[in-house]
């Protein structure tokens, strides 16, 4: 394209020979105009440097092309990865994903929600923090914006997509009981519904197998899970207060911290001879396969969760309001057997 700069659609209309309303139609959806017109516009676009003003567009359109994405903690690889996939999906569908992270703080979550709302997005995909969320704010948001909730099933929005903890945890408990000492369960203060469900699922699974559930709750409510796993792990090992040599952690990051604690204390982790501990996680975080030993865990189907969430949201956005019930799509976890348990 040449150096010619076009200020607005009016000017571009002049140089391209297409009327402004038609141009408006074209930019909204290039396929909505006649092929010959489309060609004319596009050849003009190659010659002149013009992009419609985003703000002017969105000010007047009732439906923007923006998709809001909100996660509780973007530096968590689970969310980083799932956001990556969601973003890709949105872009491919011609939408503008915009990502917010609450950084683990209620105030920032509310802030992000308010900002997002004022962006008048076509839809939103949110993973609420859970217990630390401001339910009223969430509700006010989902009342206005078509929203799919993922990962953490807070009872707002038009649908939920996540993992079935009541399938995945028993899967792991069964495996651990079958192959060694029944596991105890290491959890953090339950920051979201998943944490509670996982603990309950653990207890139920243990009782069903005739074992006493042993839940160890750690202190600390921030998002430095590995650090908590390490510190609490060292403490538990020093105090010899682990009720079992097999520990199921409520998520992989906690397990990674616990692995580090075991290493520091000279305890060999794994299921072979000479191993003092078995450690298992949940989620199959991106780097769980690279721990030493590699972490046995239950995988969440990241891709499936991302794709289904986006798919459902698009359905809702295009007016398929037929659903009476708020659907809850739960994916099954798969056992990922590695060396740690």
Partner DNA sequence: AACATATTTTTGCGCGCGTAAAATTTCGAT
Partner DNA sequence: ATCGAAATTTTACGCGCGCAAAAATATGTT
User: Contact residues for DNA (CB under 7 A)?
Assistant: 7-10, 17-25, 27-28, 32-34, 36-37, 52-53, 56-57, 59-62
**Per rule CB under 8 A, is residue 55 in the interface with a second copy?**
yes
Q: Which is nearer to DNA, 40 or 334 (CB)?
A: 40
* Positive or negative torsion for Cα 292, 294, 300, 301: positive
Per partner kind, with CB cut-offs from 5 to 8 A, the member of a second copy, DNA, none near residue 17 is DNA
43 binds, among a second copy, DNA, none (CB under 5 to 8 A by kind): none
Task: Rule CB under 8 A: say whether 230 interacts with a second copy.
Answer: yes
Q: Could you tell me the CA-to-CA distances from 77 to 20, 84, 109, 161, 195 in Å, in that order?
A: 46, 10, 19, 18, 17
Among 209, 238, 287, 321, binds a second copy (CB under 8 A): 287
Instruction: Compute the least distance from the CB of residue 223 to a second copy, in Å.
Output: 10
What Rg do the C-alpha atoms of the chain give, in angstroms? 25
135 versus 292: smaller Cβ distance to a second copy:
292
DSSP notation for 82-95: HHHHHHHHHHHTT-
Determine the number of helices (DSSP H) and then strands (DSSP E) in the chain. Answer: 12, 12
Residue nearer to a second copy on the CB measure, 187 or 252: 252
Of 53, 6, 3, the residue nearest 27 (C-alpha): 53
Q: What's the min distance (Å) between Cβ of 84 and a second copy?
A: 5
Interacting residue with a second copy among 27, 38, 45, 74 (CB under 8 A): 74
Q: Which of 14, 34, 84, 139 binds a second copy (CB under 8 A)?
A: 84
Closest approach, Cβ 316 to DNA, in A, equals 19
The residues that bridge with 70 in the sheet, in sequence order, are 100, 126
Nearest one of 248, 103, 245 to 187, comparing CA atoms: 248
Cβ-based nearer residue to a second copy, 55 or 325: 55
Among 99, 127, 247, 306, binds a second copy (CB under 8 A): 99
Q: Which residues, at least 6 apart from 70, have a Cβ–Cβ distance to it below 8 Å?
A: 99, 100, 101, 102, 109, 112, 113, 116, 124, 125, 126, 127, 128
Q: Is 284 in the site for a second copy (CB under 8 A)?
A: no
């Amino acid at each position: 394209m040449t150096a010619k700069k076009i200020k607005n659609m009016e000017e571009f209309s002049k140089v391209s020979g297409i009327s402004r309303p038609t141009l408006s139609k074209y930019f909204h959806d290039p396929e909505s105009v006649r092929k010959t017109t489309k060609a004319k516009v596009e050849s003009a676009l190659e010659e002149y440097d013009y992009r419609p003003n985003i703000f002017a567009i969105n000010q007047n359109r009732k439906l923007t092309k923006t998709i809001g994405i909100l996660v509780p903690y973007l530096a968590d690889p689970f969310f980083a990865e799932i956001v990556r996939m969601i973003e890709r999906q949105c872009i491919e569908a011609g939408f503008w994903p915009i990502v917010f992270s609450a950084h683990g703080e209620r105030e920032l979550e509310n802030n992000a929600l308010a900002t997002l709302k004022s962006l008048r997005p076509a839809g939103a995909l949110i993973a609420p923090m859970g217990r630390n969320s401001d339910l009223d704010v969430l509700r006010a948001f989902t009342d206005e914006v078509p929203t799919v909730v993922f990962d953490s099933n807070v009872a707002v929005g038009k649908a939920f997509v996540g993992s079935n903890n009541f399938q995945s945890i028993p899967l792991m408990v069964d495996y651990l009981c079958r192959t060694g000492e029944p596991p105890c369960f290491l959890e953090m203060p339950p920051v979201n519904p998943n944490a509670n469900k996982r603990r309950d699922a653990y207890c139920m699974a243990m009782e069903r197998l005739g074992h006493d559930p042993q839940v160890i709750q750690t202190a600390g409510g921030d998002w430095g899970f590995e650090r908590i796993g390490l510190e609490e792990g060292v403490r538990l090992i020093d105090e010899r207060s682990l009720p079992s040599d097999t520990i199921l952690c409520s998520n992989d990051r906690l397990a990674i911290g616990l692995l580090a604690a075991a290493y520091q204390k000279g305890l060999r982790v794994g299921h072979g001879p000479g191993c003092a501990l078995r450690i298992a996680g949940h989620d199959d975080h991106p780097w769980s396969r690279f721990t030493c030993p590699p972490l046995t865990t239950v995988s969440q189907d990241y891709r499936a969760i991302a794709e289904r969430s986006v798919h459902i949201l698009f359905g809702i956005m295009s007016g398929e309001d037929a659903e009476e019930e708020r659907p809850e799509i739960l994916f099954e976890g798969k056992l990922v057997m590695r060396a740690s348990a």
